[in-house]
Amino acid sequence: MLSKKINIAIIGATGYVGLDLIYLLSRHPNANIKYICAQKKIGKSINFFDKRIKKKLPKISKSKKIDWNIIDLVFLSLPNGQAQKLIKQKFFKHKTKFIDLSADFRLSNSRMYKVWYKKNHSAKQLINKSLYSISEFVKKKITNYRIIANPGCYPTSIQLALCPLLKKGLIDPKRIIIDSKSGYSGAGKNFKEKFKHKNILSSVHAYGIFKHRHMSELDQELKKYSKIKIKYVFNPYLIPMFRGILSSIYVEPTKKNNINKIFLELKRFYKKEKFIKVHKINTQIGTGSVINTNNCEISICKTSNKNKILILSAIDNLVKGASGQAVQNMNLMYGFKQTTGLK
C-alpha cells in the first residue's frame, strides 16, 4: 500500500489553505499532483506564490482542463457554495473521491446550511453520501465515503478538547464558555478588505459574536457526544499574527468528577494518537509549538473559581485546522499511515 500513487487535483490552489495543501502534498510519497487549478494566474508556476514548494509541479490551469478519468482524488479549497456544484456534476459520472475544505458538506441538514450560509444547497442528494471528518474520531469509517467534509478550524480545536469529555459525562454540557483567538489568515487573503478600517494587523478584533458560521458545526457535532442538550457561548477573535488558534474553553466538572479525572480521560483517549499531545495539568501552552504542524496541544488548568476548569487547545489553523487534516483524512481513506507527509 505504501508504494501506491494517488493521482490528485487541487482546485482553489492560490489561497492560504490551497498553498499549504500543495506544500504538504508535494512532500507526500504517495501523492501524484496532476492538476493545480485556480481562476487567475493561469500558466504560472505555483512556486511563484510559495517559495517553500521546491518540487516541479504542473502549471496552474483552470479546472475545466482536468481529465477526470485519471484523477483518484480532488481537494477543493473554494469559497462556500462552489464545491457542491462541481461535485454534483462529477460524482455520478466518475469514481473520483473528494475532500472539501469549504463548508458545503459540513452540515447534514440543507435547511441549516441555508440559515447559516444564506444560499440554497445545490447538491442536497449528496449530503448523506458525505462524512464530516475529524480524523481522530472517524478512523476506518472514512473508507466508506467518497465525499469528505473537512471541518472548520475553530471547531477542530474545540471538538478535540471537548468531545471525549462530553462522551464520558465528565463536564456539564450546559456550562461551556469558549474564547478562541486566531491569526488573521483565518479570514482569508482578502482579510484587509473584510476588516477595512479595523487596523487588523496591530490590534485584537472580536467578530462573529453570537453568529459565527462555525457555530453551526459546533451545534451539530457537540450534541452527538452528549445525552443532555448542549449550551455554550462562543467568542472568536482575530489577533495580529499570521497563523494559529488558541481556544480557551471554560467548563465545570459534573458531580464526583474533577480536574484529575478530566486530565486522565483526555490522556487515555489520545494515548495512541500521533498528532494530539495532552500536557501535564496547569501547563501554560501557546501556538508557538504547533505552527506549521498538524499537531494539537491540549492543557487542563485550574482557575481562581474552584468550580471552573480551563482547557487550552492550540492548533495551526491552516494545517490541523485545514490542509493538514485534509491530508490526514486522505491517509485514512487510502490506508496510509496517518503521519505520512505530515511529520
Active site residue 37: no
Q: How many CA atoms lie within 13 A of 127 on its CB side?
A: 17
**Cβ-proximal residues to 149 (8 Å cutoff; 6+ apart), any chain:** 100, 104, 105, 106, 130, 131, 132, 133
The residue from 37, 153, 163, 296 that is catalytic is 153
Nearest CA-CA partner of 118 in 103, 133, 130? 103
**DSSP assignment, residue 287?**
S
CA 170/CA 168 separation, integer angstroms = 6
Residue indicated by cell numbers 476588516? 195
DSSP letter for each residue of 48-60 = GT-TT--S--PPE
**Cα–Cα distance measured from residue 82 to residue 104, given in angstroms and rounded to the nearest whole number:** 8
Contacts of 228 (CB under 8 A, 6+ apart): 173, 174
Spatial contact of 314 and 291, defined as CB atoms under 8 Å apart:
no
Nearest C-alpha neighbor of 182 from the set 236, 102, 101: 236
Cβ neighbours for 239, distance < 8 A, ≥ 6 positions apart:
181, 182, 183, 184, 204, 205
Q: What is the DSSP letter of 253?
A: B
Catalytic residue numbers read 153
